[in-house]
Amino acid sequence: MSLVGQIAELQDYKEYEDLHWEGSFSDYLELVKKNPKVTRNAYQRMFDMVLSHGVEEYIDNKKKLISYKFFRDEAHGGADAVFGLDVPLMRLMSVLKSAAHGYGTEKRVILLHGPVGSAKSTIARLLKLGIEEYSRTAEGALYTYSWVLPEELQSLSGGEAVFDCPMHDEPLRLIPEEWREDAFRKLALGDDDHKIKIVGDVNPACRWIFRELMEHYKGNFENVMKHVRVKRLILSEQDRVGIGTFQPKDEKNQDSTELTGDINYRKIAEFGSDSDPRAFNFDGEFNVANRGIIEFVEILKLEVAFLYDLLGATQEHKIKPKKFAQTEIDEVIIGHTNEAEYRKLVSNEFMEALRDRTVKVDIPYISRVSEEVKIYEKAYTTERVGMHVAPHTLYVAALWAVLSRLEDPKKQNLSVLQKAKLYDGKLLPGFTQDNIKELRKESTREGLDGISPRYIQDKISNALVSEKDGSSINPFMVLNELEAGLRHHTLISNEDERQRYLELLSVVKQEYEDIVKDEVRRAISADEDAIAKLCSNYIDNVKAYTQKEKVKNPYTGQDEEPDERLMRSVEEKIDIPESRKDDFRREIMNYIGALAIEGRSFDYKTNERLRKALESKLFEDQKDSIKLTSLVSNVVDRETQEKIDVVKQRLIKNFGYDEVSATDVLNFVASIFARGAVKE
């Protein structure tokens, strides 16, 4: 088989046949009878498209939320996935649902509003790509038509045997409006699932051909319809079919005909008039987006001349091509703008008509650290960048970004770091889900200010390319880049703001310090035999204490009083006060007794508080014997080096470090010990 033949084997001929279906107008009526949903309008199709990917419901702070799987972009490996914006996306879907039901929002511009880099363009891009791919499925099928004319009638189409509908109209629009209701009832079109409602007339070019054919056949509608060839319509942004994008340019070089089409001056001589629809190019963005979606990039930068067209398209679903009557369109109109442009809109009294025809959907920055991390994990995993990304590198960048977006809590006993942790689902003593609700309610502009994900991405990229040996990057490299970039950040408006961001960097550095100290502590105390031995010793003493007995010393064989110093050294690690020690010890013994009744033996791992206490105690006992501080002076004896190597391997195995980053972390924690900064 030839090389081309091998490529051809990849083609799905059945799919190609389905996507290029053609039939008569009568065939289409049969198709509509079987599946009325092929006649859905643009908003209905868009809403159904998102739902077709599935939804997940979950509870967050006692509130039921919906996650729309479509916005995860799983079909493309999550390339355009939107994270942490379930609530704004629910608001957007409410607008689409209302429009799909014809409750009024279909007569509005959907305006995505938010700070730069908050995923507004990504959401619009997803909707465009989603409806394009949906039109290729059986569930999302839609149809348009062409005029097929014999030679004696080809003058109607400018000498062409086939004249494609220039705006890809719904074929049922060819039924005169005054006949439609009776025709649909007579043919029993539509069902309880989908009531067919076709609004408006065909475009001027098709209306002209229809009228001429009606005159030719002396009003015989059936004969006219024999010239209609219905075909499957595949939406495509690249081919400018059903998907349009308009981006404002220099006001000297833009014209409203970019939206509504323009006269084809070459054809005026052929047809004798500039008001002949055959001498008009229906190729404006509103024309090509008919049946699908049009995106307005930075919509509020539009010139006033464009606003008239936009307002008519929004409220009346009509556009006014030059020299022609108003023409019906059926498309989702979505725009996006940033905070500064929106403030100009609010203060401009001449833009009141646009404000009145706008449904604003706020798209803020993410306020959950774990969701923010997912943005950076898309691009900066070890596999993608070809070098090791040390643990917590992306976390510290995401944490700083989120902290910059949060308002300082009004509660005196709560820091902005604790607030970020609460938002991220972490549990803090003394705070409930109701407290989190209160925190969100008291914040008026949270997520509308702060550091953009793009800034973070730029600085991570800088850290990647500035690494000398090109083998790994770590949190300190990224934090240094973030700090250095603040000197030249163009979106920071004043020195107070810059100073606040620097202070938040210090908060993040301290948090990272605490994280790595805890990891090193756990790596040092990860000797399970030693912990089990310590646990056994502690339990023996607690048992003797609670039962007022003595403990046999394993070395001397003598009976001795329970080792109060040992018990307290463990309990103090989890903040058990002297006044509560008896209660805690009885609690442990009751727990062991309950397990024994069930025929189960006690394991310290099943009691989280005791496990943490034992690990902390063992760390305290071993940290001096390992002599991590000797790393700072570079004087390490063989025995100590062996112990350090064991700890290093645990960091690599249990926490995801590589050889370089594990060494760096141990050196860093050693320097903390050396300056006496260890928190007991």
Contact 318, 356 (CB under 8 A): no
Indicate whether 634 pLDDT > 80.
no
Contact 497, 412 (CB under 8 A): no
- The per-residue pLDDT for range 414-471, each reduced to its tens digit, is 899 999 998 988 877 777 777 788 888 888 888 888 999 999 999 999 998 886 666 7
**DSSP, res 251:** G
- The per-residue pLDDT for range 558-576, each reduced to its tens digit, is 888 888 888 888 888 888 8
CA distances (Å), origin 317, targets 54, 201, 208: 30, 12, 21
Contact 68, 58 (CB under 8 A): no
End-to-end CA distance of the chain: 74
Torsion of CA 348, 102, 333, 359, to 10 degrees: 30
Beta carbons within 10 angstroms of residue 680's beta carbon: 6
Using CA atoms, how far apart are residues 620 and 613, in angstroms rounded to an integer? 11
**Measured over all CA atoms, what is the biggest interatomic distance in the chain, rounded to whole angstroms?**
122
Which residues neighbour 544 within 8 Å (Cβ) at sequence distance 6 or greater?
550, 551, 562
Segment (H or E) for 74: none
Indicate whether 51 pLDDT > 80.
yes
Using CA atoms, how far apart are residues 348 and 344, in angstroms rounded to an integer? 6
Contact 416, 406 (CB under 8 A): yes
Contact 276, 270 (CB under 8 A): no
pTM: 0.84
- The per-residue pLDDT for range 181-220, each reduced to its tens digit, is 999 999 999 888 889 999 999 999 999 999 999 999 999 9
Torsion of CA 542, 544, 548, 552, to 10 degrees: -140
Using CA atoms, how far apart are residues 423 and 370, in angstroms rounded to an integer? 10
- The per-residue pLDDT for range 265-274, each reduced to its tens digit, is 888 877 878 8
Beta bridge partners, 389, equal 473
Which residues neighbour 454 within 8 Å (Cβ) at sequence distance 6 or greater?
116, 117
Higher pLDDT, 408 or 618: 408
Using CA atoms, how far apart are residues 590 and 99, in angstroms rounded to an integer? 61
In the chain, CATH 3.40.50 covers: 143-358
CA distances (Å), origin 626, targets 142, 530, 656: 72, 15, 22
pLDDT band at 343 (very low <50, low <70, confident <90, very high): confident
CA distances (Å), origin 451, targets 187, 332, 459: 59, 31, 12
Among 658, 625, 615, residue whose Cα is nearest residue 523: 615
- The per-residue pLDDT for range 530-552, each reduced to its tens digit, is 788 888 888 888 889 998 888 88
Question: Strands 143-148, 162-164: parallel, antiparallel or unpaired by DSSP?
Answer: antiparallel
CATH of domain 143-358: 3.40.50
Q: Which one-letter amino acid corresponds to residue 336?
A: H
- The per-residue pLDDT for range 98-153, each reduced to its tens digit, is 999 999 999 999 999 999 899 999 999 999 999 999 999 999 999 999 999 998 88
Indicate whether 632 pLDDT > 70.
no
User: Within 13 A of 115's CA, how many CA atoms are on the CB side?
Assistant: 17
Among 591, 582, 578, residue whose Cα is nearest residue 542: 582
Rounded to an integer, the average pLDDT of 368-391 is 91
pLDDT of residue 443: 82
Q: Which one-letter amino acid corresponds to residue 634?
A: N
